[in-house]
Amino acid sequence: MHDDRKLVEDRLRRVLDERIRPAVYPESVPLEVAVWHAPGEPVPVEEGLAAEPEPIEVGSRWGAPWGTSWFRVTGTVPEAWAGRTVEALLDLGFDENMPGFQCEGLVYRPDGTPVKGLNPRNQWVRVGSPAEGGEEVRLHIEAASNPVVFGPRPFRPTPLGDKDTAGSEPQYTLTRMDLAVLDETVWHLVLDLEVLGELMAELPADSGRRHDILRAVARALDALDLQDVNGTAGPARAALADVLAAPAVASAHRISAVGHAHIDSAWLWPLRETVRKVARTTANMTALIEDEPEFVFAMSQAQQWAWVKEHRPEVWARVKKAVAEGRFVPAGGMWVESDTNMPGSEAMARQFVHGKRFFLDEFGIENEEAWLPDTFGFAAGLPQIIKAAGSKWLLTQKISWSQTNRFPHHTFRWEGIDGTRIFTHFPPADTYNCSMSGSELAHAARNFRDKGHARHSLAPTGWGDGGGGTTREMVARAARLRDLEGSPTVTWEAPRAFFTKAEAEYPEPPVWVGELYLELHRATLTSQAQTKQGNRRSEHLLREAELWAATAAVRTGFPYPHEELDRLWKTVLLHQFHDILPGSSIAWVHREARATYARVAAELTAIIEGAQRALAGEGTRPLVFNAAPHPRAGVPAGGAGTPVTEGRTTLVPRVDGGHVLDNGLLRVEIDARGLVVSAYDHAAGRETVAPGTAAGLLQLHPDLPNKWDAWDVDSFYRNTVTDLTGVDELSAGEDGVSVRIVRSFGDSRVTQVLSLPPGERGLVFDTEVDWHETEKFLKLAFPLDLHAERYASETQFGHAYRPTHTNTSWETAKFEACNHRFVHLEEPGWGVAVVNDSTYGHDVTRTVRDGGDGGDGGTTTTVRASLLRAPRFPDPETDQGVHRFRHALLPGARIPDAVREGWRINLPERHTTGAADEVAPLVTTDDEAVVVTAVKLADDGSGDVVVRFHEAHGGRTRATLTAGFPVRDLTVTDLLERPVDAGAEVRREGERITVSLRPFQLMTLRLRRA
């Protein structure tokens, strides 16, 4: 036979585009349209419905950036359409290629009942099949004119990311407002041909199945009268029946389709717009559930469910009904789909506490999966947190975006720092917006890395970010693909059903140990420094507020602020969403975040001060409160007392210019450039700073990644560097025992104050940067005379190790990584830590010094903290302004020192006066390796004291915790404060509790007061 494949395929494309798709709606009449533009921010539904609109014509421009317009459409169904399916086609000016990134609408009936969302791929509203013509149609559309920030030429600076700079120019053209007849036979023919055409394109050219489909398509096109598509669509469909009925082979890949709409809780739109995006999507999905009996939709992020409940009660009622039917499924069990690299230990735990508790309280549903399709990499401490929350599975897709290395598995067990393993799946379709296209499904089957062991994967199906979720076309495709020869099989089911089947099918999958590092979006560890500082500060203020409020409640009867703390925790958790905390949202989002963090700080500070006043009593005796988990200067951890300071610091001129600081533990030389050229450890008799280098060096790099400006830093940024060694001012500080350095560079200015507190082994760097650069990257460097093949960086409930070398492509790709409060490097017997109060991004590199001409041939290992960037998209003013950072260099530090000083720099003591000379802690521990991360009252209002702690040094320990109050009963719990079996790990004798912990093990105790 002659090969006519291309001829038939080209014929199919043209006939579909020019004849069949236009025939889906063979008849239409225009609707009358009027519009009212809401002034300012969105108005309540009842106000929008009641407003008096003015006429507007199709073809008119509408919608200032971030505005809301209420359209009223009215019309009459023609008499001749009686008994036929009628829909309103409402095109606000959509670009079908940009679902979720432009204007959107929510359709209401006149009584305020929501109907469904309008989106680029979802422009229809079913009017019905009227028995008689003449039916009146009246609909209202709440239309959001969200501007296209991520346009055809992305990553260009734009003022559209903030309503204050976006202007008032109309953004959209009203395109179509019609009543139309839907020809369902033609609609189905379109789907038949699309599915078969896409499948055919994915099959081998010499496949018999491909040629069977080709011949069937040719017969169908022959059966179609192009002058009467609507009259001949039936025979055309009949010609395809046999090839659509051929069943899949027994070994076909199996796909669990999960209805899905990944909605970023903020990104290229503000939080208030996400509230409406969620309402539109949930209205759409509940409507689709009513129409499609097999369809199942899953939605994550308890915060988004809570928004629907609070702001759209009429949609919430429909959601609750669909949940009760098992068709609308809460997923993930987290408050938001957060970043997982930067949130601290307690914050990561509370994401699950608040998320799971919402779904339990509202629906009685226990989530067993963590659902994080779009998060930018996963910290090595996460598996233990997932398990401690009562969950056991994880889904993500984002690792497929890695630029350098291809991850070796799609289904595996992920092992965290403590040894906990979580069954994990990466959808091989490589998208969390699957549309059920033939290419996506074929890619999933070909791409699946675990063939021969498993053949089951998950496909999150639907348009996200306000694109409307799953469409009826996707459901129709899935119906054809349920059991179709040449294709993977497709079944709609909830995440729990998929994971149960996948785990049963693959009981011994491979294991991946350590962090799931995303080889992309590394700059999210640095962009928007004030957002990151707000998060870090809020996390520690929440710790203090819970600790001191609980202590005051037990000691004095202080009213514990359950509701306030619950609300404030949820606010902080929301801002850990994976486009807010990472700094990858528009200017509006970060402007609001800064204001929110300021309000959070004020409220938490008021709680802390109120509790401390209750504990201190009325008086004038000085008292210092220590919220850190380690004693300092004689003040116990979690208690208050009078500190004892030992030693003194001297400051003398340096012979060659500069200054020398010495406190008997460290001797620090600062040269005439204001750089640290020596940090000598007296006890070890050892120099810290590598020969010929300087610590505390600020380095400036050009920073224009190839794309994803706020997200990415590409490795070539390191090819060019400017050392900031010029000095405007070098002087002794006002206290006489510190050194102040002022430098200028570009349009910016930096002031550093270096201090060496008495009795402490840390050199403190207080850095203030008045930053006015663009597309630059600022680093703070510490070149160390130290040979180490790996280094430790703090993560949730412990620390993880990374290599300092680049032997493999996997190691090379980690040229920017995350730490929390410390980075630690060590040779046997001696180490160095760098601790910080608010930065996350860093890099560690090493070089070997020349051994000739007087060189010593030693190793220089350089730690650099990432301070500031200046990308111009999506916020063209990223990080402009004044920033303050604190770091400390700790020569001679062991891991315990790094842990302790990391906490100390983030939780400075609080000074007050009162009648008491001390406040006893609620709980103490006899082992510094056991770090208490939370002391609080139980969330259920019982008054029980909850204590969470972990082994922080990376070794086994047996420790005794002592309660500072009478204990009637003790329970080991999960993160949600529910009892779990602790086996022989815990023993109690009165107020003394002995625990056995493995390395990095997390434990929560609930103590009932006598």
Catalytic site positions: 374
Output the 3-class SS for 158-202. CHHHCCCCCCCCCCEECCEEEEEECCHHHHHHHHHHHHHHHHHHH
b/e burial code for range 351-368 (CB count within 10 A of at least 16 → b): bbbbbbbbbbebbebebb
Number of C-beta neighbours around residue 297 at 10 A: 28
User: Could you tell me the two tokens for 73?
Assistant: 């459409």
Nearest to 950 by CA among 343, 388, 342: 388
Residue found by looking up tokens 């405007």 in the block: 728
Structure tokens at 451: 């063939």
Burial class (CB in 10 A: 0-12, 13-18, 19+), 406: exposed
Give the Å distances, CA to CA, from 135 to 82, 87, 173, 181.
9, 12, 28, 14
Determine whether 315 is exposed, middle or buried from the number of CB atoms within 10 Å of its CB (0-12, 13-18, 19+): buried
Directed axis angle between helix 438-447 and helix 184-202, to 10°? 30
Helix (H, G, I), strand (E, B) or coil at 879: coil
Give 627-640 as a DSSP string.
Answer: -SSS-BTTBPTTEE
Extract the tokens encoding 157: 């600076």
CA dist 375 and 814 (Å) reads 17
Token pair listed for 664: 């008997």
Query: CB atoms < 10 A from the CB of 996, how many?
Result: 17
What does the block give as tokens for 515? 């962090």
| 992 CB neighbour count, 10 Å cutoff | 13
Question: DSSP letter string over 98-149?
Answer: -TTSS-EEEEE-TTS-EEEEEBTTB-EEEEE--SSS--EEEEEEEEEE---S
Helix orientation angle between 5-15 and 184-202, rounded to the nearest 10 degrees: 150
- Which DSSP category does 445 fall into? H
Token readout for 805 is: 């070398």
DSSP secondary structure letters along 330-377: E-S-SSS-B-SSSS-HHHHHHHHHHHHHHHHHHH-----EEE-TT-S-
Residues 6+ apart with CB under 8 A from 504: none
* Count of CB atoms situated within 10 Å of the CB of 532: 22
**CA–CA dist 99, 89 (Å, integer):** 17
Q: Give the position of tokens 């717009």.
A: 273
CB atoms within 10 A of CB 95: 14
- 1010 Cβ contact partners less than 8 Å away, ≥ 6 residues apart: 965, 966, 967, 968
List of long-range contacts for 78-82, beta carbons under 8 Å, 24+ apart:
78/29, 78/133, 78/179, 79/132, 79/133, 79/134, 80/133, 81/27, 81/130, 81/133, 81/181, 82/130, 82/131, 82/132, 82/133
Structural element, H or E, at residue 424:
strand 421-425
Whose tokens are 């080889």? That residue is: 519
Give the position of tokens 């149960």: 500
